[in-house]
Amino acid sequence: MKVAVLFGGTSAERHVSIASGAEVVGALRAAGNEVVAVDTATGVLDAADERALLRSAVAPEPPSEEELAELRAHDATAFLRAPELERVDVCFLALHGGAGEDGTLQALLDLARVPYTGSGMLGSAMAMDKDISKILFRAAGVPTPDWRMAPVDADEAIAALGLPLVVKPSKQGSTVGLTVVKQALELEAAIREAYRHDDEVMLEHFVPGRELTVPILGDEALPVGEIISEHEIFDYASKYQPGMAQENFPADLSERVAAEARRLGLAAHRALKLRGFSRVDFRLDAEERLWCLEVNTLPGLTSASLMPKGAAAAGMSFPELCDRICRLALEPEHPRATRV
């Protein structure tokens, strides 16, 4: 296959996406594919650019707004006109957050009739919006913590959700802009911080307990994983800095809990009309009740990421996983598997 790997972009998760892109490019080439590496913010990379960009590790902090503003000044559609993308069989989306994951790029590729991996425009947009996601989870019978959307009266929110509570941007990933609020006087500052990253802010009941994740591939739930973080939450540093978290696949769970997590993971994936692959995140409370937090439509694919570890627990190597993701996008029944 000729595969264009799209990564980088202009979201706060740019550094993570570059790390995912590096892993995917290598894996697809190892599997015998012709690969074009594309930073959607700057264009097709030549060999020297690949060596310089794709060897960089994930920084401890997301890129600054100044860095992102400079990248956003470029024509975000220019990469599609690159001659290197002619006769590409599929675009592998290794983007995270922002226009790469919220349905915007998916709509552009749909218009260009270019097959791409993962979910379509509608599913991507619904999954990125945590408010809409949680409404659909509840409609599908998937338990999710109570929430309120800002602006909201502080006393009313605390009375409804309790303390601690979580304040986060409604359309961000990698816990960017997220704060666990333990005292009422911290709430206003936490909301301001979340608004720096998004125009919609969610306040959510904090569920203490174990952090679980369910990778979905095709229409199958892979082994359930557990994240044990050095921090109170599985935050940006815990996700991308070595030694900050322990990730166990399969998780040490009773068969009942593991089966229920897989069932609810698939239910959440289907409720959002997702395709290809995703990763569904849960909290397991002290009474062994599962609470769905969110679904990642383009989960991380770095060496430290959860999706590849779940696939490995199912007996699938990383090159096999990447190849499978590509082939899911090209299945004949797939409505996007066309190219003009």
The band of 179, judged by pLDDT with boundaries at 50, 70 and 90, is very high
Closest CA to 12 of 219, 254, 174: 174
pLDDT score, position 338? 47
Instruction: Render pLDDT for 19-32 as a digit per residue (tens, 0 to 9).
Output: 999 999 999 999 99
Domain covering 2-118+322-329 in this structure, CATH number: 3.40.50.20
pLDDT digits (tens, 9 = 90+) for 146-171: 999 999 999 999 999 999 999 999 98
Lowest model confidence (mean pLDDT) among 70-74, 204-208, 265-269? 70-74
Average pLDDT of the chain to the nearest whole number: 90
Outline which parts of the chain fall under CATH 3.30.1490.20: 147-205
What pLDDT was estimated at residue 236? Answer: 46
For a pLDDT cut of 90, what percent of the chain falls above it?
72
Terminal CA-to-CA distance of the chain, rounded, Å?
16
Task: Name 217's Cβ contacts closer than 8 Å, sequence gap at least 6.
Answer: 277, 311, 321, 324, 325, 328
Domain 127-144+207-316 coded CATH 3.20.20.70: no
Identify which of 10, 79, 25 has the alpha carbon closest to the alpha carbon of residue 55: 25
Q: Where in the chain is the domain with CATH 3.40.50.20?
A: 2-118+322-329
Supply the CATH classification number for the domain 147-205.
Answer: 3.30.1490.20
- Contact in structure between 200 and 171 (CB atoms under 8 Å): yes
d(C-alpha 190, C-alpha 210), whole Å: 24
Q: Starting at the edge strand that comes first in sequence, how are the strands of the sheet with 201-205 ordered?
A: 147-149, 201-205, 165-169, 179-181
SS (H, E, C) the chain: CEEEEEECCCCCCHHHHHHHHHHHHHHHHHCCCEEEEEECCCEECCHHHHHHHCCCCCCCCCCCHHHHHHHHCCCCCHHHHCHHHCCCCEEEECCCCHHHHCCHHHHHHHHHCCCECCCCHHHHHHHHCHHHHHHHHHHCCCCCCCEEECCCCHHHHHHHHCCCEEEEECCCCCCCCCEEECCHHHHHHHHHHHHCCCCCEEEEECCCCEEEEEEEECCEECCCEEEEECCCCCCHHHHHCCCCEEEECCCCCCHHHHHHHHHHHHHHHHHCCCCCEEEEEEEECCCCCEEEEEEECCCCCCCCCHHHHHHHHCCCCHHHHHHHHHHHHCCCCCCCCCCC
Catalytic residue list? 13, 174, 240, 279, 281, 294, 296, 300
d(CA 40, CA 150): 32
Q: How confident is the model at residue 69 (pLDDT cuts 50, 70, 90)?
A: confident
Residue of 111 and 59 predicted with greater confidence: 111
Taking a C-beta distance cutoff of 8 angstroms, is the pair 325, 276 a contact? yes
CA distance 183 to 279: 31
Please give the Cα distance from 104 to 242 (Å, whole number).
32
- CATH 3.30.470.20 maps onto the chain at 127-144+207-316
For residue 336, pLDDT beyond 60: no
What are the pLDDT digits (tens) for 215-241? 999 999 999 999 997 766 544 444 445
Q: What is the pLDDT of residues 290-323, one digit of tens each?
A: 999 999 999 999 877 999 999 999 999 999 999 9
Per-residue pLDDT for 272 more than 90? yes
Residues in the chain: 340
pLDDT reported for residue 125: 97
